[in-house]
């Protein structure tokens, strides 16, 4: 009996030692990451990660640390959040310097480093990990857009960089797993349509939280069930209604640093944190691959111009107004992009109408990206957000400029 008691005590001691040992090891790695970042900045951090092969720490939200984390994990997770914020600060410092980089080699090297760091931070799925991954990709997109826009830069290298902006990095299934880890239970079940699951569970939990505060809402729903969604009432949802209450006030500008400690889990439902620049970079790169150059203005043959002018004149006699093809766009360059792109698009077998239309209209985001690069306005989200909330308000003249001219597209389109 005494032997069994000793064995039991040994097992119990081991059960306490193992988690503590793992936490200590992760804490030590985080400390080394912080030191690398402090002493060497982003380049030093990347060098240390490549040399030492450190794994990315799990970086949860502050809400998770306060409400879900186990006692033996709280300190390490809080430490990981400090490291995440320090990394966000370093990226904020780095952002304006990136736009000063001029040479192809420097741009390519810096962009590769940012993408490598994004890949590394994403190896561990977490709330903070995903926000940092998005921030890194957003910064890298600015440099990639500059490289793609420069026809003297190697196209194969452009394609290699663009391919790393994989749309599946932030797919609904990954976000589902991150959210489940955040709440500490399998609240968002696996399904064939992860996005529908995210939407449905969040809407249900949000509604149940309101009903808990105001019971009359629940009475109304039960009286008229056809007026409401089919509310899911699982034990996991009902036990975690506080999870469905995000911050009501979001700091401005909404930079990663400003929202780091703010609870914004709904953004992981909708994917609102995913950088919009990713789509523009892909469109710009695809346009260059297919068309081969970036046209400045539309080109028409003498016969096309003659036909166009004749049709405009004939329409005028009937009291109709047909504007020239290029007048339907913001600029001659946008019209030129559309003119160069559309003849290249063929509807593939099995392609849906939506897919075909998206392909047909790819020249619009490609032109937008190219235009912004030429003006020096292709910016990462945080820089654009800061600029938006610090610049003086627009004048009426500025607000009215740049409106698309209305009118029916004429021939030659």
**Do 202 and 115 share a domain, yes or no?**
no
Cβ neighbours around 140 below 10 Å, total: 28
* Residue after which a domain boundary falls, among 120, 148, 173: 173
In sequence order, the 6+-apart residues with CB closer than 8 A to the CB of 104 are: 147, 150, 152, 153
Please give the torsion angle defined by the CA atoms of residues 209, 215, 218 and 219, in that order, rounded to the nearest 10 degrees: 180
Place 20 in a pLDDT band, splitting at 50, 70 and 90.
Answer: low
Please check whether residues 153 and 31 belong to one and the same domain: yes
Q: Residue 409 — φ and ψ, nearest 5°? A: -65, 135
Q: Please give the pLDDT value at position 319.
A: 87
Q: What pLDDT is recorded for position 410?
A: 40
Q: Is the pLDDT of residue 16 over 80?
A: no
Give backbone dihedrals phi and psi of 304, rounded to 5 degrees, phi first.
Answer: -60, -40
Query: Which residue range is the domain that position 128 belongs to?
Result: 24-173
Identify whether residues 96 and 34 lie together within a single domain.
yes
pLDDT (tens digit per residue) in 48-94: 999 999 999 999 999 999 999 999 999 999 999 999 999 999 999 99
CA distance 345 to 59: 44
Q: With respect to residue 261, please indicate whether it lies within any of the assigned structural domains.
A: yes
308 and 344 both lie in a single domain: yes
**pLDDT at site 50:** 95
Total structural domains within the chain: 3
- Select the more confidently predicted residue: 23 or 68: 68
* CA–CA dist 395, 383 (Å, integer): 22
109 and 159 within one domain: yes
Mean pLDDT of all residues in 121-140: 98
Structure confidence at residue 394 (pLDDT): 45
Confidence of residue 118 (pLDDT cuts 50, 70, 90): very high
Residues 203, 123: one domain? no
Distance in angstroms (rounded) separating the CA atoms of residues 343 and 362 = 12
Q: Is residue 229 part of a domain?
A: yes
CA-nearest of 172, 170, 178, 174 to 64 is 178
Residue 402 lies in a domain: no
**Do 60 and 166 lie in a common domain?**
yes
* pLDDT band at 325; cut points 50, 70, 90: confident
pLDDT at 8 over 70: no
More confident residue, 303 or 65: 65
Query: Considering the domain boundaries, does residue 2 fall inside one?
Result: no
Residue 30 included in any domain: yes
| 34 plus 156 within the same structural domain | yes
pLDDT tens column, 170-213: 999 999 999 999 999 999 999 999 999 999 999 999 999 999 99
- Quick one: 326 and 238 in the same domain? no
33 shares a domain with 83: yes
Give the end of a domain, one of 138, 173, 208.
173
Which pLDDT score, from 0 to 100, does residue 397 have? 45
Residue 277 has pLDDT above 60, yes or no: yes
What whole-number percentage of the chain has pLDDT above 70?
Answer: 89
pLDDT at position 393, please? 53
Residue 82 falls inside a structural domain: yes
The answer on 242 and 188 residing in a single domain is yes
With respect to residue 83, please indicate whether it lies within any of the assigned structural domains. yes
pLDDT classification of 391: cutoffs 50, 70, 90: low
* pLDDT of amino acid 390: 85
What are the tokens at 177? Answer: 């797993």
Q: Where is mean pLDDT largest: 73-77, 218-222, 304-308, 322-326? A: 73-77
**Residue 348: pLDDT over 70:** yes
At 228, the pLDDT band (50, 70, 90 cuts) reads confident
pTM equals 0.85
**Cβ-based neighbours of 413, under 8 Å, separated by 6 or more:** 325, 328, 338, 339, 342
Vertex 41 angle, CA 39 and 44, to 5°: 75
For the ranges 1-15, 158-172, 314-328, the lowest mean pLDDT is seen at 1-15
CB 159 within 8 A of CB 289: yes
Higher-pLDDT residue of 70 and 413 is 70
410 lies in a domain?
no
Span 296-312, mean pLDDT?
87
At 62, give phi and psi (nearest 5°): -65, -35
Give dist(CA 334, CA 402) in Å, integer.
12
The reply to whether 67 and 167 lie within a common domain is yes
């Amino acid at each position: 009996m005494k032997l069994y008691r000793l064995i039991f005590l040994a097992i119990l001691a081991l059960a306490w030692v193992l988690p503590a040992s793992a936490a200590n090891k992760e804490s030590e790695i985080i400390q080394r990451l912080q030191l690398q970042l402090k002493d060497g900045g982003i380049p030093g951090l990347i060098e240390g990660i490549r040399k030492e092969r450190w794994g990315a720490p799990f970086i949860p939200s502050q809400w998770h640390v306060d409400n879900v984390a186990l006692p033996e994990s709280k300190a390490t997770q809080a430490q990981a959040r400090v490291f995440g914020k320090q990394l966000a600060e370093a990226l904020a410092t780095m952002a304006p310097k990136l736009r000063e980089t001029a040479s192809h080699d420097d741009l390519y090297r810096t962009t590769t480093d940012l993408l490598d760091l994004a890949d590394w931070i994403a190896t561990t799925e977490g709330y903070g990990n995903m926000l940092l991954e998005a921030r890194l990709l957003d910064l890298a997109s600015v440099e990639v857009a500059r490289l793609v826009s420069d026809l003297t830069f190697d196209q194969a290298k452009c394609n290699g960089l663009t391919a790393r902006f994989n749309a599946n990095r932030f797919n609904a299934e990954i976000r589902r797993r991150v959210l489940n880890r955040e709440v500490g239970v399998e609240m968002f079940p696996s399904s064939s349509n992860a996005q529908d699951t995210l939407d449905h569970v969040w809407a249900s939990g949000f509604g149940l939280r309101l009903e808990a505060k105001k019971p009359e809402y629940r009475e109304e729903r039960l009286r008229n069930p056809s007026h409401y969604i089919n509310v899911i009432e699982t034990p996991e949802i009902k036990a975690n209604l506080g999870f469905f209450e995000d911050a009501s006030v979001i700091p401005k500008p909404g930079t990663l640093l400003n929202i780091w400690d703010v609870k914004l889990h709904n953004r992981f439902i909708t994917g609102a944190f995913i950088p919009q620049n990713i789509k523009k970079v892909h469109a710009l790169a695809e346009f260059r691959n297919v068309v081969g150059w970036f046209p400045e203005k539309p080109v028409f043959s003498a016969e096309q111009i003659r036909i166009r002018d004749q049709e405009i004149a004939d329409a005028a006699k009937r009291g109709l107004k047909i504007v020239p093809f290029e007048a339907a766009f913001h600029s001659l360059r946008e019209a030129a992009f559309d003119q160069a792109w559309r003849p290249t698009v063929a509807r593939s077998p099995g392609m849906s109408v939506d897919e075909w239309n998206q392909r047909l209209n790819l020249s619009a985001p490609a032109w937008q990206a190219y235009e912004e690069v030429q003006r020096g306005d292709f910016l990462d989200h945080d820089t654009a957000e800061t600029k938006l909330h610090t610049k003086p308000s627009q004048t009426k003249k500025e607000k009215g400029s740049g409106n698309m001219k209305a009118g029916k597209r004429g021939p030659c389109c």
